[in-house]
Amino acid sequence: MLKQTVLVTGGAGFIGRYSVKELLDNNFNVVVVDRKEKPQHLDCQYFQMDVTSHELAEIFKKNKIDYIIHLAALPSVADSIKMPLIDCRDNYQATVNVCTIAKLYNVKKIIFSSTAAVYANPQYLPVDEKHPVSFLSPYAITKSASEHFIQYSGLDYIIFRYANVYGAGQDTSGEAGVVAKFFALMSQGLPVKIHGNGIQYRDFINVKDVAKVNVIGLQSDIEGEIINVSTNTRTSINELFEVLKEETGYILAPEHTSSREGDIEKSVLSNNKLISLFNFVPSITLRSGIKEMVNGLH
């Protein structure tokens, strides 16, 4: 049987690299499109290109693309507030371009990476997929608009709304997750700043579990669904600080600063739908995931 080919947009990014590895481990051909230079250890066909480019169609023409995992995006809430036009291009316009071309070339299914940010400050917890959508940033708006375009496009799809993704090898530049930022500072013995009082909490999920979900969703018969990808576990920023402090041997106390515009106070996502549809329960605890980061495992 011929291998099926998966296009991963943003495949050189954090979640992208893990998703590519998971695809290769499951015997798929992988084609990556990313505007970054090809990472040294990414072992697949690679095109350095912006996914908003009209030249993207040539990749579909020259490669029989069966599936898409669409991860390319501007992931920064703070940057979306500063640069809403760039956020619109990198998130919404990119999705429109990918979906339009995918439809022309009869792609079987698209997996789309959305976000817990579309729930804003939740009305109830844990947040399930029926929760009303609301926005505290252009980032959340363009992710939600992308969801709607995918639903409109006529493609078979699964939209995954990720909780806070972390893991070994996460880039600490730009809008890296709080785990990666705290870890980088603690590893260097530098001061760590917590925005607000630190009692705000998040649902942290390891990137390896996210990559597995992406591939499970792609392989499944499920389509036309919006699904949270989370642990359904709440961890305050203060608690996160303490776990990282214990695992890294950090000795300084945190510095508390003012809260940031666009930040969500409380976020925990129900993963009941994920479990019921795919029989998949995220297996990596926050502490064990942080231990991997400390040990330099990728």
pLDDT at 176: 59
- Domain-embedded: residue 272: no
From 92, 139, 166, 250, the catalytic residue: 139
Question: Considering the chain, what percentage of its residues have pLDDT values greater than 90?
Answer: 87
Does 243 have pLDDT greater than 50? yes
Does 264 have pLDDT greater than 70? yes
The one-letter amino acid at 137? S
Q: State how far the Cα of 112 lies from the Cα of 298, in Å rounded to an integer.
A: 24
| Full-model pTM | 0.95
Does 284 have pLDDT greater than 90? yes
pLDDT digits (tens, 9 = 90+) for 96-147: 999 999 999 999 999 999 999 999 999 999 999 999 999 999 999 999 999 9
Does the annotation count 18 as an active-site position? no
Q: Which domain holds residue 59?
A: 5-166+205-230
- Name the domain count of the chain: 1
Q: State how far the Cα of 105 lies from the Cα of 272, in Å rounded to an integer.
A: 34
Average confidence (pLDDT) over 234-260: 94
pLDDT digits (tens, 9 = 90+) for 15-73: 999 999 999 999 999 999 999 999 888 889 999 999 999 999 999 999 999 999 999 99
Does 238 have pLDDT greater than 70? yes
Rg (CA), the chain: 19
**Ranges 20-29, 193-202, 230-239: which has the least confidence:** 193-202
Higher-scoring residue by pLDDT: 262, 230? 230
262 — pLDDT class (breaks 50, 70, 90): low
Q: State how far the Cα of 30 lies from the Cα of 19, in Å rounded to an integer.
A: 10
Q: Please identify which residue in the block is written with the tokens 């029926």.
A: 130
pLDDT at 1: 63
- Domain-embedded: residue 131: yes
159 — pLDDT class (breaks 50, 70, 90): very high
Burial class for 13, CB neighbours closer than 10 Å (0-12, 13-18, 19+) = buried
pLDDT digits (tens, 9 = 90+) for 47-57: 999 999 999 99
Any residues with CB less than 8 A from the CB of 242 and at least 6 apart, and which? none
- Domain-embedded: residue 297: no
Selection from 240, 250, 251, 252 nearest residue 287 by Cα: 240
- Domain-embedded: residue 149: yes
pLDDT at 42: 87
Residue 118, domain CATH: 3.40.50.720
Q: State how far the Cα of 151 lies from the Cα of 176, in Å rounded to an integer.
A: 29
Does 297 have pLDDT greater than 60? no
pLDDT digits (tens, 9 = 90+) for 79-95: 899 999 999 999 999 99
Q: State how far the Cα of 97 lies from the Cα of 90, in Å rounded to an integer.
A: 10
- Domain-embedded: residue 116: yes
- Domain-embedded: residue 275: no
pLDDT at 58: 97
pLDDT at 298: 44
Torsion angle, CA of 288/291/295/296, rounded to 10 degrees?
80
pLDDT at 24: 97
Higher-scoring residue by pLDDT: 43, 243? 243
Averaged pLDDT score across all residues of the chain: 94
pLDDT at 78: 83
260 — pLDDT class (breaks 50, 70, 90): confident
pLDDT at 173: 63
Q: State how far the Cα of 87 lies from the Cα of 140, in Å rounded to an integer.
A: 10
- Domain-embedded: residue 148: yes
Q: State how far the Cα of 272 lies from the Cα of 277, in Å rounded to an integer.
A: 9
Helical (H) or strand (E) element with 77 = helix 77-82
Contact, 281 vs 275, CB < 8 A? yes
- Domain-embedded: residue 290: no
Burial class for 14, CB neighbours closer than 10 Å (0-12, 13-18, 19+) = buried
